[in-house]
Structure 1
Amino acid sequence: MRPTRPAAAIVAALGLSLLAACGSSGTPATQGATTGGTAAVATPLPGAVGIDAVTASGPVDFKTAPKVKFTAKPVSTSTVTSHVLVKGTGPESTAKDTVFIRAQIFNGTSGKLLDDGYGKGRTAEGFRLARTDIVKGIAKGLTGVQRGSRVAFTIPPGEGFGSAGNTNLGIGPTDTIVVVADVKSVRTGLTEITGTQRPSPAGLPTVTFPDGPTKAPTVTIPKSAAPTRTEQATLIEGTGPAVQKGQTITAQYHGVLWKDGSVFDSSWQRGTPADFPIGVGAVIAGWDKTLVGKKVGSRVLLVIPPADGYGAQGMGDKISGTDTLVFVVDILDAY
């Protein structure tokens, strides 16, 4: 699924925009992350101080912004370095989890507040740590945290925006980012859909999973004209909460063309689920119109004509302006 808006728009839709960077790559790791206390101390860069120079006071109630102080500056480390300011409870987060936080983000060189997750209208925001389109440092810094904890951690340039920095966000090429995060919850989403699949309605493609639910399905297109309006069918009804407008969904999906059954996009084939803001115009209208209201744990068949797809302009080399799209979507989570 290709987004319908520029990457920057998707970043903004995710909130905490300084931590979301479409185009970042790599799998989250635990190097330098806290596990059950204070992380192994990483030596600050010459002339700088480490994360221990950052303190925060006030309750962890997810309503009151912490009072963050830098006892010395600049804060600059060569690796992601964490410190638990308030210990939480429950299991520690892993790369399989989504962590919900309210956070304040600072430039470690100046101590300037760059983004305030406690600002007006803001709420706790979720980050699935296995995503490849968030800054690697946020995934590392939020690995090993517990519900109800307050953690401070650094994101050096190599784990953030690289040597170019991000001047629009006030981050120079050598600046370390400092995050103070209150962890509201830690949740593990589904890894596959279970349940008995219903047959596709008459006239719509059939869907089978010959290699199991963790591999791409086989979609068979009927020998008939494509529908002229968006069609949908819930093949497996989930038991989770309904997807709400404005949430981000985690989904496995497989897209083929009605005209010949050829695959144009598939998260299953890439080997990892994808995450999309839903109901806010960040994806094609056919997804926004059909997936809001579906329950987590559902498998949905979608047939989307150009008007609710990529329009007369098509998309790339595979999708023309007259192509009807067929999707199988497994909704693994919504946050």
Structure 2
Amino acid sequence: MRVVDPSGLPAGRNEVAVSLSKPEIDFPEGDPPADLRIRDIVVGDGAEAKPGSTVEVHYAGVTFSTGEEFDASWNRGQSFRFPLGAGRVIKGWDQGVAGMKVGGRRELTIPPHLAYGSQSPSPLIPPDSTLIFVVDLLGV
């Protein structure tokens, strides 16, 4: 799997003016993981995302089975904010975004039991899908 790495991140700030671009996520190889898989593409050096904090992210998501994009905040031109650990997003996000630092980019491969399970919110996501997200942490 290849993700386009960003460059030019400012250091040591809680909020960043990010010059990241939308990631390209290639079709995955092999079997989907049974547990959450986290891979840091870029390790940020700003504030750390901790449960109870509100985080601001940009993201792109594809299904593991097809590699087809089903959602991306980049396409809307607007970042997404949510309270970390409050259950407002899928469990894989609450677990996978925790510990990121502002300026970081992380790939999350999320099995169905930590994503939507059999209750898909969209026809673009088949039931019981493993999902891959690339998440950029913009602010805490």
TM superposition score normalised by structure 2: 0.85
Counterpart contact for 2:28–2:67, Cα < 8 Å: no
What displacement does 1:223 show? 2.7
Counterpart contact for 1:240–1:296, Cα < 8 Å: yes
State which of 103, 107, 118 in structure 2 corresponds to 1:301.
Answer: 107
- Correspondence for 1:239: 45
Identity in percent: 38
For the pair 1:317 / 2:113, whether they are aligned, the reply is no
The 5 Å alignment of 1:61-210 reads: 205-208=1-4
Deviates more, 1:274-283 or 1:324-333: 274-283
- Greater relative contact order (Cα < 8 A, sep 6+): 2
> How many residue pairs are counted as aligned between the two chains?
129
**Helix, strand or coil: the match of 2:139?**
strand
Deviates more, 1:261-270 or 1:315-324: 315-324
**Helix, strand or coil: the match of 1:208?**
coil
What displacement does 1:215 show? 3.2
TM superposition score normalised by structure 1: 0.37
What displacement does 1:260 show? 1.1
For the pair 1:257 / 2:63, whether they are aligned, the reply is yes
Question: Who wins on radius of gyration, i.e. which is larger?
Answer: 1
- Correspondence for 2:31: 225
- Correspondence for 1:189: none
1:101-134 alpha-carbon deviations (Å, 9 max, x no partner): xxxxxxxxxxxxxxxxxxxxxxxxxxxxxxxxxx
Counterpart contact for 1:279–1:289, Cα < 8 Å: yes
- Correspondence for 2:78: 272
Distance between the aligned counterparts of 1:244 and 1:296, measured in 2?
11
Amino acid at match of 1:303: T
Amino acid at match of 2:128: T
Runs of 4+ deviating beyond 2 Å = 212-215
Amino acid at match of 1:235: I
- In structure 1, list runs of 5 or more residues that go unmatched: 1-204
Distance between the aligned counterparts of 2:105 and 2:46, measured in 1?
12
Distance between the aligned counterparts of 1:233 and 1:292, measured in 2?
13
Counterpart contact for 1:214–1:268, Cα < 8 Å: no
The alpha-carbon distance between structure 1 residues 209 and 237, as it changes in their structure 2 partners (threshold 3 A), is closer
- In structure 2, list runs of 5 or more residues that go unmatched: 9-18
What displacement does 1:318 show? 1.2
1:257-295 alpha-carbon deviations (Å, 9 max, x no partner): 111111111011111211111111111000111211211
For the pair 1:281 / 2:87, whether they are aligned, the reply is yes
Distance between the aligned counterparts of 1:299 and 1:265, measured in 2?
17
Deviates more, 1:298-307 or 1:241-250: 241-250
1:52-98 alpha-carbon deviations (Å, 9 max, x no partner): xxxxxxxxxxxxxxxxxxxxxxxxxxxxxxxxxxxxxxxxxxxxxxx
- Correspondence for 1:111: none
- Correspondence for 2:96: 290
**Helix, strand or coil: the match of 2:46?**
coil
